[in-house]
Amino acid sequence: MEQTLLIVLMCVLVFGLTAVVYVLSQKMNGLKQQGSVDLMKADVTELGRSITLLQRTMGETLERNSTTMQLSLQKQLSESAKLVSDVTQRLAKLDETNRRVVDVADELKTLQNVLSNPKQRGVFGEYYLQSVLENVLAPGQYQMQYRFQDGEIVDAVIFLERGQILPIDSKFSLENYNRMIESSGKEREALLAKVKSDLKGRIDETSKYIRPSENTMDFAFMFIPSESLYYDLLINNIGTGGSSRDLIEYAFRDKRVIITSPTSFMAYLQTVLQGLRSLQIEEQAKDIQVRVGKLGQHIGKFDEYMNKLGNSLGTTVNHYNNAHKELGKIDKDVVKIAGVDANVEPLLIDKPRQED
């Protein structure tokens, strides 16, 4: 805007000078015709002053405009540099975000590869189970990879009161389940049957770790680290066996296996622990009842012996009082013989009173 104004002023100045020269030329011609040299000199002098004033004014205007333009240019350059710096920083952050997205994608791909490998998938399930146990139990309350007497190893056990242990197996099957989710029609039905067979096999395998002879509980936990599979077991028809029997019911009633997921595991565990506490309280109450019965027997015996002691003391008191009476009779005989006053005053005592 300021550059445009400066150009306009320059054009006006040139146009004005041209007009002045033209006017002077006309006047010079007129003066030659009239022969008035003095008037021409006066006009030239006045014209010189006007041109000088105009030059000074234009110079000041140009200087002010130049200063303003320099300040404006510096301001624009500063703002441009700041904008470039901001854009550079945002591009750097965007580049870092892109790298993180790529890293997450790589990790997800690695996780997918892990879950697609049966052996590594089992390791992942054990790791997930261990993470859950670490968050809720002290180190001495559980053990990973617990070995039984015959060499069989269960993924984890929880140590309960009175030396009992709760076995937990974390095996699960996802290959057929993932394929079933992405399929439809008859293929889905065939894969559903395979998923049910896989789950039933895992249930049967988990039941092998129920060993009361080695101080285990009479049930075990089957940990499934997949909420979607557990949800399908509870809600959808995946939980129904070929004979229209629920797999969860089959696991608990026939195999004494409780199927859990990461969200339901703690609820089941707290229920078991609370049930054990209630059982312990019930056993303690029975023990107290037995001890109270024995205490009643002891009190009955004590009362019996106290009655016998009271009877014995009553007999003793009778003998004591009779002895004093006989002593009184002896004293009277002595008085008659000796002719002196009797000095013996027998002290009689009462028998102990017994309440019925």
Beta-bridged to residue 161, according to DSSP, are: none
- Which pLDDT value is given to residue 112? 56
DSSP per residue, 182-195 = H--HHHHHHHHHHH
- Which pLDDT value is given to residue 243? 44
Low-confidence ranges of the chain (pLDDT < 70): 1-48, 50-51, 54-55, 58-59, 61-63, 65-66, 69, 73, 98, 101-125, 172-174, 235-245, 275-276, 278-285, 327-356
- Which pLDDT value is given to residue 62? 65
Contact between 239 and 233 under an 8 Å Cβ cutoff? The reply is: yes
- Which pLDDT value is given to residue 303? 74
One-letter amino acid identity for 354?
Answer: Q
Cα separation, 105 vs 94, in Å, equals 16
This prediction's pTM: 0.48
- Which pLDDT value is given to residue 107? 61
Could you tell me the strand order of the sheet in which 220-223 lies?
A: 142-147, 153-159, 165-169, 220-223, 257-260
Beta strands per DSSP E along the chain: 142-147, 153-159, 165-169, 220-223, 257-260
